[in-house]
Amino acid sequence: MSEFDGRDAFDGELLDLYVPSALHHLRVDRVLSMLTGLSRAGAHDALTSGAVSVNDKVVRKPSTPLEEGQRLVAVLAPRPSDDVIPDPTVPLEVVLDDEDFVVVNKPPGQVVHPGAGQRDGTMVAGLLARYPQLHQLSVDGHCEPSRPGIVHRLDKGTSGLLVVAKTPEGYVSLSRQLTERVMERTYLGMVEGHIDEERGVVDAPIGRSARTPTLMVVRSDGRSARTNYEVMGRVDKPFATTLLRLSLETGRTHQIRVHLATIGHPIVNDLRYGHRRDARLEDERVFLHSSSLAFHHPRSNERVETHAALPLDLAALVPSSLGL
């Protein structure tokens, strides 16, 4: 056993290796802990979240034994070595500021929390500078140090609304509303091609790609995912596109982008799941905007609704005839 050091196959975010004889018949949760430094609880969370696969099949049971020659892949969230350093220079557009939460309109290009690709200049750093009490949420064990108050997130290239908890009561309530699908999240997105029907639902499970583990795909053993869409208008030039209003019943990683690409209508300028055309957008910018967010107040239970108009870069691609 001492001759094998599988940590060489782990870069801090992706573990990808073929099981050697030294790990034959060991439990998958134990192997994950050995190779990544995760606690047993952390390995269990990675398994139940669908981030681990053996021979291209998602494995969720911690006691599953591994066999020599199997391919073990785990895509793990990066673990920060230190707390995020507050940064008052990070721009924040606060839409609603409450004792228990804050709703922010995230600009495109801003990363929500630190990860393997970016440590500094994140939205979390700006939030901590403005609301230092967020740090206590991680100290008390409610959140990871790199994600204090973060209930849900938006991709770097996506703009719009997201809510961040400021108190333990807010975090518990908002997280529960997200899990129980009480929180309503509506997006505006433009996709390639003309969608014929006026409205529809994409109901297809999503999991990690076996070929490229950093990508998400529709797969039978993935987690359930439902995306509703409604046509707002169709555009012919410079190429055929359809503007959609989208609502999520679930919140899987890259859900909207994967679902729309799967039905043959990828989000405009989505280089990861679609194509690059002359959309006059920055390379990492996708035509996807979180336009409205609704939930119940953590204390009063009153309904809270917030809205954010399309930013200028996306609005420029929408004909005035569509009335947005």
Instruction: Provide the annotated active-site residues.
Output: 155
Length of the chain: 324
Q: Is the peptide bond before 238 cis (omega within 30 degrees of 0)?
A: yes
Cα-Cα end-to-end distance for the chain: 63
Per DSSP, 19 falls in state P
- CA within 13 Å, CB half, 41: 0
- Which phi and psi angles does 38 have, rounded to 5°? -65, 150
Nearest Cα to 92, choosing from 75, 84, 104? 104
Element (H, E) at 73: strand 71-75
Can you point out the beta strands (E) in 117-249? Answer: 159-165, 184-192, 199-203, 206-208, 216-218, 226-235, 241-248
- CA within 13 Å, CB half, 249: 13
User: How far apart (Å, rounded) are the C-alpha atoms in residues 198 and 14?
Assistant: 40
